[in-house]
Chains A and B, each alone.
Chain A
Amino acid sequence: MQWGSLSEFVAMGGYGLYVWTSFGVTALCMLWEVLALRRRHAAALAGTNEPIHDR
C-alpha cells in the first residue's frame, strides 16, 4: 500500500486533477459505449432503429 490516508490518495502527490481526469474520462467513455450498444441492440431487436439502405 502506497498511501497513508484517503486525502493523500486523492491528491496523487499534487497530480490528482490529471490522474483522476484520465481515469474518469476513460471510465465514462467505456460506460457510455456499453449503454449505447445496449440501446442499439434493443432497438435492432425491435426493428425500430434507422433502416439500413441495402439493395
Chain B
Amino acid sequence: MGLAHINWFKYSSPQAFYPLAGRLTPWCAAAAILLIGVGLYIGLFVAPTDFQQGQSYRIIFVHVPAAWMSMFLYVAMALWAGLGLGLNARPSFMMAQAIAPTGALFTFLALVTGAMWGKPTWGAWWVWDARLTSELILLFLYGGVMLLRTSIDDSRRADRASALFALVGVVNVPIIYFSVRWWNTLHQGASVSMTAAPKMAATMLTAMLVMTLGFWMYSTAVILVRMRCVILERERQSSWGMPQSHRDAVEVH
C-alpha cells in the first residue's frame, strides 16, 4: 500500500505543473551555475595537458557534454511524444515541445565545437564520417520536429504529427552512439564506456562528468521555463490564471 494512494497525476495537469516548475527552476539554475563553474575550473586549471593532442583536447569539456545532451534530450523528447500518443495526453506533447529547441541547440553546439576540434586534430572542419553525419541528421530531425509543429495550425494535429516524427527519428540515436564502433570512423572512439576503464586522467574525466551534470541542470531549468511559456501560450483560451474572476471557469481539455 502507500504508493497506490498517491495521486501521481496531480502534477500532470498544466495548472499544477506551472507553479511546481516555477519553484524548481531557481534550484536547477543555481545547481547548473555551480556545477559548470566547478567543471570549468577543473577542466581549465587542474586537468593536465593531453600527451597526444596538447591543449586542444580541452574542447572535450564542452563538446562531449553537449553531444551527450543532444542525444539524451532527443530520447526524452521521443519518450514524452510516445507517451502523448499512447495516452492522448496534451501535457506530454507540451513537454516534447518544450524539450526540442534545447536539444537542437546542444546538437548545434556539438557540431560547432566538433568542427573546432576537428580542424587542429584532423586538419578538416568537417568530414563525412559516420559519427559526424549521424549527428548532423540529429539536427535535421530536431528541425523537422519543430517545423512540423509550426507548419500545422491545428495544435492537436501538430502534436500528433511532430510526435510521430520524433518517435521514428529515435532510431538515429543508437546509430550515433555506436557509429564509432560499427564503422571505421575518423572520430575517436568512446572516451568513457561502461565496460572498460576510462582512457583519460581522473581529473579530465571528473571535469567532463561535472560539466555534463551542469549542462543537465541547465537543460532542466530552461526546459521548465519553456514548459511554463508553452502552458501559458496554449492554455490561453482556457484562461486560467489570466483574469482572477475567470479562475472558477477553468476547463482544460
Contact = CB atoms under 8 A, between A and B. Distances in A.
A53 B117 CA distance: 43
Nearest to A41: B229
Contacts of B120: 15, 18
Interface of B: 44-49, 54-56, 58-59, 62-63, 66, 101-102, 105, 108-109, 112-113, 116-117, 119-120, 153-156, 218, 222, 225-226, 228-229, 232-234, 236-237, 242
B156 to A, nearest CB: 7
A29 B105 contact: yes
A48 to B, nearest CB: 11
B105 A13 contact: no
B85 to A, nearest CB: 18
B105 A33 contact: yes
Nearest to B63: A22
Given A18-B59, A44-B229, A25 B113 contact: yes
B56 A12 contact: yes
Given A15-B56, A45-B232, A47-B242, A2 B105 contact: no
B45 A1 contact: yes
Chain B binding surface, main DSSP class: helix
Contact of A19 (B47, B59, B228, B242): B59
A53 B75 CA distance: 27
Given A26-B66, A26-B109, A51-B236, A2 B59 contact: no
Given A2-B49, A22-B116, A52 B233 contact: yes
Contact of B116 (A21, A38, A45, A51): A21
A18 B49 contact: no
Given A25-B113, A44-B232, A18 B56 contact: yes
Give 3 closest A-B pairs by Cβ, nearest first: A13-B55, A44-B232, A15-B56
